[in-house]
Amino acid sequence: MLALKIFIESDMNKLSDSLDSFDQRQYPESDKIVWVLRKRLIGLYNQYFSVNNMLSETYTNDWDGMNDIIEKASALKHMDSLPIEYQVMGLRIEVLLKSLNENMYKLIDKRKELEVKSVTLSSFTEGTNIDIERILDIQKTRIEDERKGLLEAFNVTLVLMIVLCFVINFYLSKYINRNMNALIRITERISAGEYSMRVPQIQSDEFAKLGDAINKMAESLLNSTKALMKSNTDLEGLVEVRTIELNKANAKLAQANEALEEEKERLVKLARTDGLTGLDNRRNILDYLEEQINQAKRYDRPVTIMMADIDHFKRINDTYGHTAGDEVLKKLASVFRSSIRETDRVGRFGGEEFLFVFTGTSQSETKSIIERVRNKIKGLDYSFGKTSITVSAGVCQYEKGSSTIFIGKADKLMYEAKEKGRNQVVYDNNIDEA
């Protein structure tokens, strides 16, 4: 109906434009036809598309009068004096109005048919006295029963599904726990150091992947452990070799240190002792004397020295040679060392001169030590021949002053003994002569 309306509206607009521009003076014989046709078409157009009155019987006569319009349109198309477009327009109007007329009669017939069916249905309902409410109640009851049945079936299905889920969950949990416990036991043994353990084949893809991962981890740990043990063995061997080398180096170092200490002691001894006699050398005996003088000053204890010189020592060297002179020096030094106390010291002062230092001794003790030395010298035998070796000595006790003054005093007393005939001891005034 909408397509028909659009089609008719388009043609009616064209027709209206054409009729407005129609020249009546040129075509006087068509004047009445054109204007009547225009008026009637406009009225029919408005009536046809009035929805409220489309099927009203009040317009039946107007629809019947459409035939008159169709005849005028047909006459319009046969006027050869009109332009061709007006003739074509008349033909199209004729066709459209015939179709419009035919459709409207079909609509009226359809309306009448519906009215007849409505009257028939009302008559049937009243004649048979059907209880519509009872029918509806029956239908409602049937539908309710079907709903209840469906609901019960749904509940039963739901319960079965829940039970099935529990059963599946139980067996699935049991399966998962069994496999998981097996994996846990194996991983615990691997973590304890059993790297050769492997996870057996499992049907489940997920557990199979996990088992493969654990097996790869165990294999990696096993290879790493083997490599570490090999490295450890190599390292232990290297450490052992290095330890042996280090022990040898330490032994050599200890020997070197020992030799160094011995050399140090030897050098110290050489620095402190006389190389020929083994007694304190001049420097060492002077240092010892200096210490004893300081002790005497601080604690007021006696210090006595004796400067001794071998008599006629040059004659021995000239007569028997320097070897004989060295022998005399050595033997006298041995007698000197063995005759004094541990607290006393003796040193080679120079050439054939010797310096004795006696500490903490009385005059009588000092004299006794000196006489013991003189007696031992007299009985010595020498390889170069029988001869008598004597010494001259000067003895003095410290009073004050420096060590140089103290030694000078003893040295003066020794020369005094030589002037008196040698082979004797001269004491200072503080010591009584024996």
Q: pLDDT digit of tens for each residue in the chain (434 aa)? A: 444 445 555 655 655 555 555 544 454 545 455 555 555 555 555 555 443 344 444 444 445 555 666 666 666 556 555 556 556 666 666 666 666 666 666 666 666 676 676 666 566 555 544 556 777 788 788 888 887 887 787 787 778 778 777 677 776 677 677 777 877 888 888 888 787 778 777 766 676 777 778 888 888 888 888 888 888 899 999 898 989 999 999 998 999 988 988 888 878 777 889 989 999 999 999 999 999 999 999 988 899 999 999 999 999 999 999 999 999 999 999 999 999 998 899 999 999 999 999 998 888 888 999 999 988 998 888 988 878 899 999 999 998 889 999 999 999 999 999 999 999 999 988 765 44
pLDDT for residue 361: 84
Cα separation, 72 vs 159, whole angstroms: 83
Q: Does domain 275-427 have CATH number 3.30.70.270?
A: yes
Q: Amino acid identity, residue 322?
A: H
What pLDDT was estimated at residue 2? Answer: 46
Domain ranges of the chain: 2-125, 134-272, 275-427
Contact status, residue 218 vs residue 225, Cβ threshold 8 Å: no
Q: Is the whole model's pTM more than 0.75, yes or no?
A: no
> What does the pLDDT read at residue 55?
44
pLDDT, residue 378, reads 84
CA distances from 66 to 6, 94, 105, 291, 411 (A): 20, 10, 12, 170, 187
CB-side neighbour CA atoms (13 Å) of 153: 6
Q: What per-residue confidence (pLDDT) applies to 393?
A: 95
Per-residue pLDDT, 422 = 93
Write down the pLDDT at residue 59. 42
Catalytic residues: 352
